[in-house]
Structure 1
């Protein structure tokens, strides 16, 4: 009976009566019995029609009574969110006009916190609950339109904004995911989150911590492809990376001439250098990268370290190649094992947990945070190895 009355009252021609009814509806909609009744009266369609036609019908009203219009829209969207949360109605039933309207509120009502928050919540649910709606929302809203909401001071709005970005990221097809990551990098999402969320002068609540954790997982999952790619020993470009590691470490000391007489000498020199670099297979180190995980990701890490922290790289290689065999901490072998371990610790390739909020601020301090993490760990491993006076028997520990 209550549902029937409210269904009639929200269609009242009196603005005051309508506003009062919508306010009550927003409140009652949390109750599942009421929600079922109201939905049976086709209440959801009524609310979406009100949203779709809202702006045109109340154009004049909006100018005269702006607060009234804002409240009306806010209560309508709140009721909609509460009713949909019961999971009674499928998300697939909504029109493009409705989606466009909700997406437009994200830009139009930036200053009205409650409308903005409900609109972001609706967009997130649409993306997560329907592949069709994901495609439509992805066409309507750009990362560029979402970023400004992270630069405000309202943590709830920031949380909902990151939730929408995460949802778009999670549902993007594989071929689009890297493209989206590039846009996020271009728009400097990471440094904006670092400045306006992580280093803001307030505590991070659980919901925000969860969204940051999800973003962290989705970002690391971009590495899965490299982690599961075996090295192709016939691929010249891949073999060139190994040559580059050798060149940086030994500055290609006294390369013999290319004459056929020195071919054997060159081979033995390469073998000697690959042993110093700590590969298991001294003849053809490419074979060390055929196990997945960590696949090519280990080689990417080694090259990053060699190029970005050249002095530390050369020191580690030379220190180990001058130790007795049993005391060396082989750089190649330990890099491969370490990369594999980091992938396990950071759960690369696994979907984010719905309850975890374990994010690490350090991963938001650098665009190449996985590689940077590797650089720190490989140096710590080497230092610990030296201090322990570890031997090759200790390697698997």
Structure 2
């Protein structure tokens, strides 16, 4: 029986009295208690009654000890409906510390252990059992180390079993996650029983589930582009989601190509067919086996493989392994015009000046993995994520498609040869990282900005940064009036030490005149830059001093 009332937290009304039950003609007043209607429906006790706020809605309901007794009996019922309802309510009420203590005092956890260990109940009943167990353990009344081997074995089994109810597996993973930090033996047990491959399978299932429900679009629309500013906690959650998603690429990144895999060989051959589809594939009746092999070798060389007689060898290095093959195939299928243009344009150049597509793709894939920290553990505090990551379903592949075309563009701007391959890759990497630092909100904006950052602009930025560094490191020598020749300064002041700080004699010798004459040493202390500056200029940059002497 529940009856509602509005609580006034002022004066005598702040005191929560069980004798209200007597006003409503209810016997055994100690069997009743007040409970919040909203939120976690916490019971009102002597310890928390002072926290009742004006306007809080309370209800008179069964006391925690009576409810614990009733549910303890209900979860042992042979009637499955009664058992399921009791476990469902138990899972809900167990969040309340007062109820949890009453239930645990009745040896309720032992009953939950039996339900799991016997293994007769599955589906909804098992899910409610595990949920109730998790809520009860959150209060730290019982140590995780007291769990029986049989119970732990069942939980591990739920995690390892394919096709198990998703809610049961999720709760089982949460239980194991809480067990691991509690003791070293439990950690070793979980580590031994639950393999990394199995955890990655669960992670992939979760990401597939989120993808099916368009979670990315929801985040992009309702969180990233929300009218309210994003908090630090949400930024960290988005960073973690981004890191976990990118780390799903790690397995392929660390897996070399299997030359005996029919599926992988077909994907490799598809690159050749897509690039040279206009050229008739020699049939068995037209050319000999040797002739067909010769054509294949020639085309793989045009594709930019280093081992063009056996291109699978180029993909034996892991990382980037199969991930590089995936990127090349994605580019050839999703950007067929750009792919054909890249390959055919370079295959018509002189061998020394062609930009090798396959070699570039392999090294670019590795560079992107390093830039995006693929395979690295998540930080506990980081909040940096890419806004454009949540705007694209195939972020890594689409980013590759943009960057591989950038590589070809930069190659031509640098007029590179094969000997310049590493230098070009270094410039491309710099173009990517500089553009990412601008935090573009979409891949389209990233594409626009990274292509605007051409080789000439990279050189200009490098020069500016180098000059700024020299300006920061340079040591001011002196400021004095007048403008005598530098050689006369040296002869007139034989004791002048450029590296020293005692230049008072020179300053006294050069007083007079209307302009300020300023000298500054280069960072290597080998060149003296000097020239006139306007009054009031405290520290002119080194490039504004036109004269120099060594």
Provide the TM-score with structure 1 as the length reference. 0.62
Q: Which residue of 1 is the match for residue 9 of structure 2?
A: none
Contact 2:158–2:169 (CA under 8 A) maintained in structure 1? no
**197, 214, 234: which one aligns with 2:223:** 197
Gaps of 5+ in 2: 1-17, 19-29, 36-42, 53-63, 75-92, 101-111, 117-124, 139-144, 171-195, 427-550
Distance 1:189 1:257, change over 3 A: same
Match of 1:281 among 307, 312, 317: 307
Indicate the residue corresponding to 1:100 in structure 2: 128
Q: Distance in 1 between matches of 2:201 and 2:388?
A: 28
Counterpart of 1:358? 384
How does 1:1-397 map onto structure 2 within 5 Å?
A: 15=33, 19=44, 21=46, 23=48, 76=96, 100=128, 141=167, 173-251=199-277, 253-259=279-285, 261-396=287-422, 397=426
Q: How many residues align?
A: 297
Per-residue CA distance 1:363-397 (angstroms, 9 max, x = gap):
11222111111111111121122122222222113
Q: How far is 1:350 from its partner?
A: 2.1
Between the aligned partners of 1:196 and 1:101, the Cα distance in structure 2 is 34
Q: State how far apart, in whole Å, the 2-side matches of 1:203 and 1:101 are.
A: 39
What is the RMSD computed on CA atoms of the aligned residues? 4.3
**Aligned mates of 2:249, 2:241 — CA distance in 1:** 14
The structural deviation recorded for 1:256 is 2.4
Structure with greater contact order relative to length (CA < 8 Å, sep ≥ 6): 1
Deviation at 1:337, TM superposition (A): 0.5
C-alpha distance in structure 1 between counterparts of 2:127 and 2:287, whole Å: 73
How much has 1:243 moved relative to structure 2? 1.3
Gaps of 5+ in 1: 1-8, 28-45, 57-72, 81-93, 105-118, 123-128, 145-169
Query: What is the alpha-carbon distance in structure 2 between the residues aligned to residue 220 and residue 306 of structure 1?
Result: 22
Structure with the bigger percentage of helix: 1
Question: Hey, what's the Cα distance between the residues in 1 that align with 2:414 and 2:296?
Answer: 30
Alpha-carbon spacing, 1:143–1:386, altered in 2? closer, same or farther (3 Å) = farther
More strand by share: 2
Instruction: Give the greater-gyration-radius structure (CA).
Output: 2
- 3-state SS of the aligned residue for 1:355? coil
Q: 1:337 to 1:26 in 2, by over 3 A?
A: farther
In 2, are the aligned partners of 1:143 and 1:184 still within 8 Å (CA)?
Answer: no
Q: Which residue of 1 aligns with 2:467?
A: none
